[in-house]
């Protein structure tokens, strides 16, 4: 029987889904996360709330890998915000900033994939835990999507730069 979801867990899940939707919309609409757009702002605020609420959740009773990934996602998000102001990075700034935002989006989904596959459907979850071949395969596919997406972002940004 899967762990029941708490009120905090349900709230965290809703915020995480909104954050995911805002990030996905930004990637589809703008090909990156733009902090100046409403979707970008929803993503950034949602990421912060999602990670902060995750600290009240733990199936192991303490600090876990999901919490560490959340901290890493916040650091990546912060990097995406700070990098554009670091003039010593020169022309690499927009590339690095977007890579940081894309990496935070990638990290947002790692615990989400595990939790979804080990909790749904509630009567008989698809996977038994993080070591399950299904979870590992889904995470490997997600990593592949991240790498291909990051390369596509780089190429797109480079073509935009050469047109300007």
Domain coordinates of the chain in residue numbers? 7-163
Q: Residue 1's pLDDT is what?
A: 45
What confidence tens digit (pLDDT) does each residue in 112-163 have?
999 899 988 888 899 998 899 999 999 999 999 999 999 999 999 888 877 7
The single residue listed with the structure tokens 């990496």 is: 103
Contact (CB, 8 A) for 159 and 138: no
* Cβ neighbourhood burial of 82 (10 Å; 0-12, 13-18, 19+): exposed
- Rounded distance between C-alpha atoms, residue 94 and residue 107, angstroms: 20
* Cβ neighbourhood burial of 27 (10 Å; 0-12, 13-18, 19+): buried
- Rounded distance between C-alpha atoms, residue 10 and residue 131, angstroms: 24
What confidence tens digit (pLDDT) does each residue in 80-112 have?
999 999 999 999 999 999 999 999 999 999 999
Residues 6+ apart with CB under 8 A from 25: 39
Q: Residue 64's pLDDT is what?
A: 83
**DSSP assignment of 3-18:** PPPPHHHHHHHHHHHH
- Is residue 72 pLDDT above 70, yes or no? yes
The share of the chain scoring above pLDDT 70, in percent, equals: 96
Q: How far is CA 149 from CA 6, 35, 41, 63, 142, in A?
A: 34, 19, 21, 30, 10
User: How big is the chain by its Cα radius of gyration, in Å?
Assistant: 17
- Rounded distance between C-alpha atoms, residue 34 and residue 40, angstroms: 5
Q: What is the pTM of this model?
A: 0.90
Average pLDDT for 57-64: 76
């Amino acid at each position: 029987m899967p762990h029941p979801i708490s009120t905090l867990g349900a709230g965290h899940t809703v915020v995480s889904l909104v954050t995911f939707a805002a990030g996905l919309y930004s990637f589809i609409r703008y090909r990156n996360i733009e902090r100046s757009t409403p979707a970008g702002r929803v993503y950034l605020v949602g990421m912060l709330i999602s990670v902060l609420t995750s600290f009240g959740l733990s199936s192991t009773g303490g600090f876990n890998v999901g919490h560490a990934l959340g901290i890493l996602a916040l650091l990546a998000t912060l990097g995406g915000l700070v990098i554009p102001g670091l003039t010593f990075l020169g022309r690499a700034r927009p590339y690095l900033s977007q890579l940081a935002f894309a990496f935070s989006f990638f990290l947002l989904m790692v615990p989400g994939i595990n939790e979804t596959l080990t909790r749904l459907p509630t009567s008989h979850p698809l996977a038994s835990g993080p070591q399950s071949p299904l979870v590992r395969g889904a995470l490997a596919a997600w990593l592949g999507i991240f790498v291909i997406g990051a390369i596509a972002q780089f190429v797109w940004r480079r073509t935009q730069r050469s047109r300007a």
